[in-house]
Structure 1
Amino acid sequence: MSSPPTRRGLPGIDGRDREPGTAILSLDLGTRTGWAVLGRDGSITSGSESFKPQRFEGGGMRYLRFKRWLAEIKQSADGLDAVYFEEVRRHAGVDAAHAYGGFMAQLTAWCEHHGIPYQGVPVGTIKKHATGKGNASKDEMMAAVRARGHAPADDDEADALALLHWAIQHHDAAQED
């Protein structure tokens, strides 16, 4: 049995001075996927979702559950204007690398199917934006996100929130060009 998703909402941290209407999803992909959504009203909601393989489940079922979950997120956000994900170049093990590749393939195919622009952002870029150093620890990332007014339950949610703040800044700058 998988643990329930965690969801936390925080009204317009970065959304106060923004054009209303942009919905952005940021993801820290993995068996435990961290996520954060900037809603069209400027509110930020975040959490983490487990895609751990279930007992008696085929190997591809976790990816089907991931796609179904993406559809639920899209619907609850009243559509998505952009998706950003943490682009990992190095993994601790083969299983983690395979899982990440599967989630990334599903995500990018899903975005293509729905016509949603997507972008991978290197881990070091996200860490540098959040903490000032590209090799920040999990604790430093959690502290940086807490300093922005969030209360992440785990490092996956913290990474997704840090990525969302990076994405908001860079998405808005790209829209002005």
Structure 2
Amino acid sequence: MTQPNEQLRCILALDLGTTTGWALRGYDGLITTGTASFKPGRYDGGGMRYLRFTNWLTELDRLSGPIAAIWFEEVRNHKGVDASHVYGGLMASLTSWGELRGVPYQGVPVGTIKRHATGHGNASKEAMIAAARARGSSPADDNEADAIAILHWALETRGGAA
């Protein structure tokens, strides 16, 4: 049996955060993007954000997948403690989800994504949104724009292998 063409695989790119940006290239080549909110509700326990994130990944995989690979923005420096905790919890949930299903995942440094999208490793949020628009997308915010940039980086560099 032959391996499926790499171009036909479902690939997911994520900008992890309370508002997670996502971009998905389906097996049919169609790119779909958006944001998903994982803001805790008033009566939510501390782990509900991560449980909702895991359920969201499972539903995305069920409806659009199977997801063959995931790339995410690898943040090394956060502006606040809360953002750092949320990112770490989402990343732990993502990597556990991937490990359980045998889905490979890889972080991509922020500067690499920005440089690929705009030519500058320290591009502003506005520049990232403009770069996504220049590629024909209409991102709702910088989270979605970052996910679009990650997806294009992954596709154009074959995940950094090119």
TM bucket normalised to smaller: over 0.9
What is the CA deviation profile of residues 67-107 of structure 1, one whole-angstrom value per residue up to 9, with x for unaligned ones?
Answer: 00000111122201100000000001000000000000000
In the alignment, which residue of structure 1 is the partner of 2:26?
A: 39
Give the direction of change, closer, same or farther, for the CA distance of 1:143–1:57 in structure 2 (3 Å limit): same
Superposed CA offset, 1:88-129 (max 9, x none): 000010000000000000000100000001000000000000
Among all aligned residue pairs of Structure 1 and Structure 2, give the percentage whose two residues are the same amino acid.
62
- 1:86-97 equivalences in 2 (<5 Å): 86-97=73-84
In structure 2, what is the Cα distance between the partners aligned to 1:172 and 1:85? Answer: 11
Give 1:127-138 correspondences, 5 Å limit. Answer: 127-138=114-125
Aligned residue for 1:169? 156
Q: Which runs of 4+ in 1 moved over 6 A?
A: none
Map of 1:57 onto structure 2: 44
Whether 2:98 is the aligned partner of 1:111: answer yes
Question: Partner letter of residue 87 of structure 1?
Answer: E
User: CA-to-partner distance for each residue in 1:121-174, whole Å, 9 max, x for gaps?
Assistant: 000000000000000000000001100000001110000000000011222774
Q: Which amino acid in 1 is paired with 2:84? A: A
Equivalence for 1:9: none
Q: Secondary structure at the match of 2:94?
A: helix
Any gaps of 5 or more consecutive residues in structure 2? none
Instruction: State TM-score, norm by structure 2.
Output: 0.93
Paired residue type of 1:84:
W
Instruction: Give a deviation string over 1:21-55, Cα, whole Å, max 9, x none.
Output: 21100000000000000000100000000000111
Task: Indicate the RMSD between aligned Cα atoms, in angstroms.
Answer: 1.5
1:4-153 matches, within 5 Å, as: 20-153=7-140
Q: Find the residue that maps to 2:8 and give its secondary structure.
A: coil
The structure-2 alpha-carbon separation of the partners of 1:55 and 1:172, relative to structure 1 and needing over 3 Å to count, comes to closer
Equivalence for 1:155: 142
Equivalent residue number for residue 13 of structure 1: none
Change in CA separation of 1:95 and 1:41 when aligned onto 2, cut-off 3 Å? same
Q: Count residues in correspondence.
A: 158
- Return 86-95 or 72-81, whichever deviates more: 72-81
Give, as a single letter, the amino acid of the residue that structure 1 aligns with 2:24: V
> Distance between the aligned counterparts of 2:28 and 2:6, measured in 1?
9
Query: In structure 2, what is the Cα distance between the partners aligned to 1:106 and 1:168?
Result: 24
